[in-house]
Amino acid sequence: MDERTVSRAAFDAVIFDLDGVVTRTASLHARAWKQVFDEFLARWKWGNGGSRDPFDIEDDYNRHVDGKPRYDGVRDFLASRGIELPEGDPSDGPDVESVCGLGNRKNVLYNELLSQGGVEIFEDTVTQIEAWRAMGLKTAIVSSSKNCATVLQVAGLTELFDIRVDGVESARLGLEGKPAPDIFLKAAELLGVEPARAVVFEDAVSGVQAGRAGGFGWVIGVDRVGARDALLANGADTVVSDLREVPTGS
Ligand SMILES: [Mg+2]
């Protein structure tokens, strides 16, 4: 059993991934991706080779897409089916058959789902963040999503975080996406803390890999869907299913 605790003695900051840790938008993302990819696979002119399997909302989502910048997710999933599309341009419309076009279509569908259903919050996370802030720990939110600010605003959680590093900021600064550690390291830098004195909370395989690569003091995997073994195998020091399980010291 891990002897560590989240405490002021051991740490200066706590850094949270958004989707799947703070908000329950991962299932909305997965549904939007499935629609985009299944429609694409159905109209793709198959030659020899390649797998025609439809997008698996758990396996393919966790393996190829979750946590990554949008266009990286498109490229990596299509590669798994033996398909290579032209990169296109971020200005491509949602009907353009390119990596950027498919990614943009996913974003349109995601925003439709978001506006229909609102944002669900993991209350266990919010309760813990409030307690840790009261202890004097700094807080940051990181996300590969360019919708991060909108999601936080819709959820009423903007004030909970001292720093935000999201997909918009990543693109502006040229940060490499997860599993590269850039986005977490930037958050630590903006908070003015050493990575070794910060705790990272992540639900994605690519995210715990990023936390490990960044040399963070404690990488805690958050398993909402039965991905415990994959998180432990890819860099999580500890895995919890509810943030209230995380031991807190002083
Ligand atoms: Mg996540």
Contact criterion met (CB below 8 Å) for 31 and 63? no
Active-site hit among 2, 12, 17, 182: 17
Give yes or no: 19 in active site.
Answer: yes
Last residue of a domain, one of 92, 117, 142: 117
State the distance from the centre of ligand 1 to the C-alpha of 83, rounded, in angstroms.
Answer: 26
- Whole-number Å distance between alpha carbons of 108 and 102: 10
Active-site hit among 19, 66, 92, 223: 19
State the distance from the centre of ligand 1 to the C-alpha of 202, rounded, in angstroms.
Answer: 6
44 backbone dihedrals φ, ψ, rounded to 5°: -65, 135
State the distance from the centre of ligand 1 to the C-alpha of 26, rounded, in angstroms.
Answer: 7
Instruction: Summarize pLDDT for 31-85 with one digit per residue, the tens.
Output: 999 999 999 999 998 887 888 899 999 899 999 999 899 999 999 999 999 999 9
Q: Which of 192, 167, 197 is nearest to 182 (CA)?
A: 167
CATH number of the domain that 105 lies in? Answer: 1.10.150
Which residues contact residue 160 at a Cβ distance below 8 angstroms, ignoring those fewer than 6 apart?
A: 126, 129, 130, 133, 139, 141
State the distance from the centre of ligand 1 to the C-alpha of 42, rounded, in angstroms.
Answer: 28
- Whole-number Å distance between alpha carbons of 195 and 11: 9
State how many domains the chain has.
2
Q: Looking at the domain assignment, is residue 3 inside a domain?
A: no
Q: Which of 80, 82, 1 is nearest to 33 (CA)?
A: 80
191 and 237 together in one domain = yes
238 and 161 together in one domain = yes
Instruction: Summarize pLDDT for 131-185 with one digit per residue, the tens.
Output: 999 999 999 999 998 889 988 988 889 999 999 999 999 999 999 999 999 999 9
Q: What is the pLDDT of residue 155?
A: 87
Contact criterion met (CB below 8 Å) for 177 and 53? no
CATH number of the domain that 172 lies in? Answer: 3.40.50.1000
b/e string for 92-120 if b means 16 or more Cβ within 10 A? beeebebbbbbbbbbbebbeebbeeeebe
Domain with 154, as residue range(s), is 13-24+119-245
Last residue of a domain, one of 117, 144, 162: 117
Q: What is the pLDDT of residue 6?
A: 97
Structure-token pair, residue 232: 């432990």
Q: What is the pLDDT of residue 39?
A: 95
Q: Looking at the domain assignment, is residue 126 inside a domain?
A: yes
134 and 223 together in one domain = yes
DSSP 8-class letter at 159: G
Last residue of a domain, one of 117, 132, 162: 117
Rounded (10°) angle between helices 99-117 and 26-43: 140
State the distance from the centre of ligand 1 to the C-alpha of 182, rounded, in angstroms.
Answer: 16
Instruction: Summarize pLDDT for 193-216 with one digit per residue, the tens.
Output: 999 999 999 999 999 999 999 999
State the distance from the centre of ligand 1 to the C-alpha of 203, rounded, in angstroms.
Answer: 5
164 and 209 together in one domain = yes
- Whole-number Å distance between alpha carbons of 167 and 93: 19
